[in-house]
Amino acid sequence: METNFDQDVIAAIFKFVWSKKAIDREKIEDGEASKGEERAGTSKKNRPTSANPNAVRLSCELLRLFVTEAVQRAATIAEAEGGTKIEATHLERILPQLLWRSSLRCSWML
């Protein structure tokens, strides 16, 4: 099998982001509750998001594709320039296009 990201690491990153956001949600809710609003089952509502194992595996693949695509594109530039090593200047040239095309957050303008 091809080398890929460690599922444990990706799951840990997700868990880290999600538990941080769950704490933020709780804080907001606490603020609202103190204003006298009724809140039922808040603990359940604020439980952090989790992911099923296949979703984590698929995320590993998505991130692996991101890395391989970045390397491939930089490699194309390096080869075109007749080099034998991928250098920072090659990466610089492919970076804008890569980020615009593969990142959801940046590609909303397209």
Partner 1 sequence: MDPVTMEDCFDVSDTEKEDDEEEATAHLRDRFRISTISIAESEAKRNNLEISQSVIVCISDLAFKYAEQLADDLELFAHHANRKIVNMNDVILSAHRNKHLADTLRAFSHDLKAKEPHSEKKRKKSSSSNKEDKGFSSVHHIDP
Residue 43: partners with Cβ closer than 8 Å, 6 or more residues away: none
Interface characters, 22-41, with partner 1 (x: CB under 8 A): --------------------
The residue (of 40 and 104) whose beta carbon lies closer to partner 1 is: 104
Q: Considering the complex, what minimum distance in angstroms separates the CB of residue 38 from partner 1?
A: 21
Asked if residue 93 binds partner 1 (CB under 8 A), the reply is no
Rounded CA separation 56/9 (Å): 10
Residue 10: partners with Cβ closer than 8 Å, 6 or more residues away: 56, 59, 60, 63
Q: Do residues 62 and 69 touch, judged by C-beta distance below 8 A?
A: no
Binding site for partner 1 (CB under 8 A): 2-6, 9-10, 12-14, 16-18, 20-21, 47, 49-52, 54-55, 57-59, 61-68, 70-72, 74-75, 78-79, 83-88, 90-91, 99, 101-105, 107-108, 110
